[in-house]
Amino acid sequence: MNDSRDDDELLELTAAGDRDAFQLLMERHVKSMLVLAQRVSGNSDDAEELVQDAFLKVWTQAPKWRRDGAAQFSTWLYRVVLNGCLDRRRRPVWTGLDEAAELADSAPGAAQHLAQLQSRAIIQEAMSAIPERQRAALYLHYFSEISAPQAAQVLDITVPAMEALLIRGKRALKKELIRRGVSDLGDMI
């Protein structure tokens, strides 16, 4: 469905209880929010739950939305999803027996798949070891579908401050990966 109404108009309709307007807002933004949440959380189930929570917040907060506010709706939504992901990462993790890792598949390509999973796990662990603001900057700029100026707006900082965070974040991530024994960084950083 191609609708010419902007996000602010759809939020006003959502505030009035228009479920179709809310559905359209979700359809416009859910993919990019899922990409961000998946990258930050590292878990697709958590990502879906975090994005659902964010859209629930949109539904409940729509009457408070101000068209003349400092941020665009999409910027605010990125911030809500990012904050939800970072909050979730701070909580202690408990893994039940049902969620325990399964044995690796012995089919062709299983070794490569396992290596990719291990690489992702190492990167996730290294990312969680760097300062939170640097981690947020890297996630927003490199793993989301937004530009550095938009990421700066999400973090409520200037573009030069965002660029400095990205430089420091990449440096810290590289140092952390090397500390963990990853010497062949290739195009990773």
**pLDDT tens profile 143-159:** 787 888 888 988 889 99
Instruction: Pick the range with the lowest mean pLDDT from 54-68, 101-115, 116-130, 139-153.
Output: 101-115
- Give the CATH number for residue 12: 1.10.1740.10
Residue-level pLDDT at 178: 87
Q: What contacts 49, CB < 8 A, 6 or more positions away?
A: none
Amino acid at residue number 75:
T
Residue-level pLDDT at 14: 92
- Give domain status of residue 101, yes or no: no
Asked whether residue 84 falls in the same domain as residue 157, the answer is: no
**pTM of the predicted model over 0.85:** no
Please check whether residue 72 is in contact with residue 59, taking contact to mean a CB–CB distance below 8 angstroms: no
Asked whether residue 30 falls in the same domain as residue 1, the answer is: yes
CB atoms within 10 A of CB 79: 18
Confidence band, pLDDT 50/70/90 cuts, at residue 106: low
User: How many helices (H) and strands (E) in the chain?
Assistant: 8, 0
- pLDDT average, residue stretch 44-53: 90
CA atoms within 13 Å, Cβ hemisphere of 110: 7
Range of the domain at 59: 1-92
